[in-house]
Amino acid sequence: MGTGADGEQATKTARLRTVAPRAAAGVLAAGTALGVGELAAAAVGDESSPFLAVGATTVDRSPAWAREFAITTFGTDDKAALFVGMTIVIVALAALAGVVERSRRPYGSVLLAALGAVGVYAATSRPGAGMSAALPTIVGVAAGIVVLRVLTVRSRARERGEADSATMSRRRFLALAGGVVVAASAAGAAGRHLASTAAGAVRNRMAFVVPAVAQRNRARPIPAGADLAETGAEPFVTSNDAFYRIDTALRVPRIGTDEWSLRIHGMVEREITLGWDELVAREPLERVITLTCVSNEVGGDLAGNATWIGYSIRDLLDEVGVLDDADMLLSTSVDGFTVGTPLSALRDGRDALLAVAMNGEPLPFEHGYPVRQVVPGLYGFVSATKWVVDWELTRFDRAQAYWTRRGWAEQAPVKTASRIEVPASFARVPSGEVLVAGSAWAQHRGIARVEVRVDDGPWQEATPATGYSIDTWRQWSWRWQATPGTHTLYARATDLDGLVQTEERAAPIPDGASGWHTRSVTVL
């Protein structure tokens, strides 16, 4: 190759040399805006953070299929994926603002201000937000614009080769830029730290004493035969760390028992506001209950089983005197998320709880500290409100909850399901006897049997593990005489109502996935 290509290369490099600092100035300005915004949000209130407010608004405005796409693609990392996506968009626009500010001043600053306007709109439209929620974005963007101007003016002087005091050497530009990075990150980190320990909720949780449960209210001990974990299947009780987490909260609400109360109103004879002390003055119950998410795909892992301690929802409803024509409990969490639960399910005698402890510990913040609902038999989005602070007794023909407004069902009992857990997907196993094992659930109906099929052979009876209760999943195993080749294993459960798990495939929207779980295994 001749000098032509070298020349082209040299122009490219030169262009990059001039564009890169301009783009960097824009990105640093946006970083400053976000960092300062985060710090200011610690003073004004969590949801006023520009980044979080935009993220939360994106989540809330997403239709059902978008949530499903996010959960299917990223699983419980859906929030991280959203943040990465937002960061990419912001960095791109900020870099553009930096380049534009240099050549078409002040349109780069205008672009930053426009991004700020999106933040202001998002922050002020969060549930319960006032005009003050606009402040962190405004202060942050103002700081960002100052940084953009300073870095642009300086780099402009440098490019012109001016040698006066305003001129900045490459080294000084980098030093200034570095200073901005450090200051903006420090502001952001300080903001997040302040917000995460706000109101001492962390200390409050550390001091939380799990209520002592009277002998008659204890959960029945879990028989050893209920747990097939030694086969490689999921443990019967899911640890708090391993328990799936699904919610719309981009920042986990952190409220202490001292800030918690439950307002009960609407179609009741007596409206009350229940304080923490009044809640824990009641008799606590301990129950083992399996939760599942409507977004769980056939064979998916959005299900978990825990020992909960909590207070009877039915007793509380009886106390406030629910009017006869009410049929829905509309519960609201501290972040504005709502759930509509049929009163029939809460009053038919099942163990519907206002739970305060999970596997012997105070609820983890992610799972609803200090109080969340747990209702056997219903998918989480119609029953399991975390950080619950408000109950309105109402009717399905008057009120709509969060996910119902976005295309999900109003009524959502858990569908009968079974899952193959061992062998692993696409496992290679030696021929001969191979243990197949998994779980099945049909909460509040209970699992009667599980059958397994190899390829298009006959259904064969699996051995159910010792059952615990109709509200918990049940494990199962089956000894397979495996012959060489690639085989597909199928599982299907039958619940105690006699309903056989349907082969008909349904997507999670609107009321839960269905179909048989299959697994391909190569036998050597």
Ligand X SMILES: Nc1nc2c(c(=O)[nH]1)N[C@H]1C(S)=C(S)[C@@H](COP(=O)(O)O)O[C@H]1N2
- What x/- string results for residues 275 through 304 when contact with ligand X is judged by CB under 6 A? ----------------x-x-----------
Q: Which does 517 bind (CB under 5 to 8 A by kind): Mo ion, ligand X, none?
A: none
Q: Is 308 in the site for ligand X (CB under 6 A)?
A: no
Q: Which is nearer to ligand X, 38 or 68 (CB)?
A: 68
Give the pair of three-digit tokens for residue 504. 């008909």
Q: Which residue, 255 or 291, is less far from Mo ion as judged by CB? A: 291
- Residue with smaller CB distance to ligand X, 441 or 490: 441
Q: Minimum CB separation from Mo ion for residue 292, in Å?
A: 8
Residue 240 identity (one-letter amino acid)? N
Total Cβ atoms within 10 A of residue 479: 14
367: contact with ligand X by CB under 6 A: yes
- Work out the angle at residue 102's Cα, subtended by the Cα atoms of residues 98 and 107, and round it to the nearest 5 degrees: 70
Q: Judging by DSSP bridges, how do beta strands 388-394 and 303-312 pair with one another?
A: unpaired
Nearest C-alpha neighbor of 386 from the set 211, 235, 244: 244
Report the residue number, 125 or 248, with the smaller CB distance to ligand X: 248
- With 0-12 / 13-18 / 19 or more C-beta atoms within 10 angstroms meaning exposed / middle / buried, residue 178 is exposed
User: Is position 244 an interface residue for ligand X (rule: CB under 6 A)?
Assistant: yes
Which C-beta is closer to ligand X: that of 245 or that of 453?
Answer: 245
State in angstroms the smallest separation of the CB of 267 from ligand X.
22
Q: Nearest to ligand X by Cβ — which residue? A: 380
How many other C-beta atoms lie within 10 A of the C-beta of residue 47?
Answer: 24
480 binds ligand X (CB under 6 A): no
Nearer to ligand X, 105 or 245 (CB): 245
512 is a contact residue toward ligand X (CB under 6 A): no
Residue pair 116/140 in contact by the 8 Å Cβ criterion? yes
374, interface contact from Mo ion, ligand X, none, CB < 5-8 Å by kind: none
Backbone angles phi, psi at 178, to 5 degrees: -60, -40
Angle at 106 between CA 100 and CA 111, to 5 degrees: 65
Given candidates 246, 285, 328, 462, which one binds ligand X under the rule CB under 6 A? Answer: 246
- Pick the stretch among 128-136, 137-145, 384-392, 466-474 that binds ligand X (CB under 6 A): 384-392
- Among 3-11, 153-161, 242-250, 263-271, which window interacts with ligand X (CB under 6 A)? 242-250
Phi and psi, residue 499, nearest 5°? -80, 125
DSSP SS3 for 44: helix
Give the C-alpha separation, 255 to 441, whole Å.
Answer: 33
Site string for ligand X, 329-358 (x = CB under 6 A): ----x---x---------------------
365 near ligand X (CB under 6 A)? no
Residue 337's closest CA among 307, 382, 296?
382
Classify 175 in phi/psi space as left (phi over 0), alpha (psi -120 to 50) or beta: alpha
Question: Where on the chain is the footprint of ligand X (CB under 6 A)?
Answer: 243-249, 291, 293, 333, 337, 367, 380-381, 384-387
